[in-house]
Amino acid sequence: QKEVEQDPGPLSVPEGAIVSLNCTYSNSAFQYFMWYRQYSRKGPELLMYTYSSGNKEDGRFTAQVDKSSKYISLFIRDSQPSDSATYLCAMSGPSGGSYIPTFGRGTSLIVHP
Amino acid sequence: KAGVTQTPRYLIKTRGQQVTLSCSPISGHRSVSWYQQTPGQGLQFLFEYFSETQRNKGNFPGRFSGRQFSNSRSEMNVSTLELGDSALYLCASSLESPGSGYTFGSGTRLTVV
């Protein structure tokens, strides 16, 4: 079992839909939880990060962390075609004086007009 | 503010050769990490450098090595290239520790033939 599990999709939704992206993990030492967006031929771009449990909102994006269930989510409201990308979850805990993120495989999202 | 710069963007090499990839982090960022991204395995951590010292290392063979210079610029080297080394190699930087997220470069696409 991988440390971080993420459904690769693709997930196809109509414009304006609410999108739910999820990851599960097994390492209870993880403390930081992140979501990245990656467009084709580009590096990942940090969307949001959360420390420990709880919710965080930024515009149309909401991140949720449930440490008791080892489950994190990213919600995108009013999805747009420009949101079409691969979304990667990542999480980190203490390691050798640093916090090295472990990434999920990514979920491909397609928002069609 | 300039982002993370990786050179070259594309490389084609022959099996058995060696290759050196370069990364210039965001000014002021002292932590530089390298990842290998493939469709099959996703993002896999290679190593992290901080203040010219390797602080963390992933589970890759010794053919993969790196270094960091006093100006925080970093290079990674792969010797005796194998076909399976074909991948997108991503460099990422952060201020002190990547716990709360990285800034990634656009990557170097390496093809081994």
- Strand stretches in chain A, DSSP E: 4-5, 11-14, 19-25, 32-38, 45-51, 54-58, 61-66, 71-76, 85-92, 94-95, 98-99, 102-103, 107-112
Interface contacts A/B by beta carbons within 8 Å: 68
pLDDT band for position A97 (50/70/90)?
confident
Residue B104: its chain A contacts at CB < 8 A? 36, 43-45
Indicate yes or no: CB of B99 within 8 angstroms of CB of A88.
no
Mean pLDDT of A47-59: 91
Residue A47: its chain B contacts at CB < 8 A? none
pLDDT at A14: 98
**What is the residue-level pLDDT of chain B in tens, covering all 113 positions?**
679 999 999 999 999 999 999 999 999 999 999 999 999 899 999 999 999 999 999 999 999 999 999 999 999 999 999 999 999 999 999 988 777 789 999 999 999 99
Residue A100: its chain B contacts at CB < 8 A? 33, 45, 48, 56, 98
Mutate to test the interface with A, among B5, B43, B55 (most CBs of A within 10 A): B43
pLDDT at A45: 96
pLDDT at B1: 64
**Given A44, A98, A105, which is nearest B97 (Cβ)?**
A98
Query: Angle B94-B99-B104 (CA atoms, 0-180°, nearest 5)?
Result: 40
Q: What is the pLDDT of residues A31-49, one digit of tens each?
A: 999 999 999 989 999 999 9
Interface of A with B in 25-64 (CB under 8 A): 31-32, 34, 36, 41-46, 49, 51
**Given B43, B99, B106, which is nearest A42 (Cβ)?**
B106
Whether the predicted pLDDT of A1 surpasses 70: no
Indicate yes or no: CB of A99 within 8 angstroms of CB of B90.
no
User: How many whole angstroms separate alpha carbon B8 and alpha carbon B5?
Assistant: 9
| Amino acid in position A66 | D
Indicate yes or no: CB of A102 within 8 angstroms of CB of B45.
yes
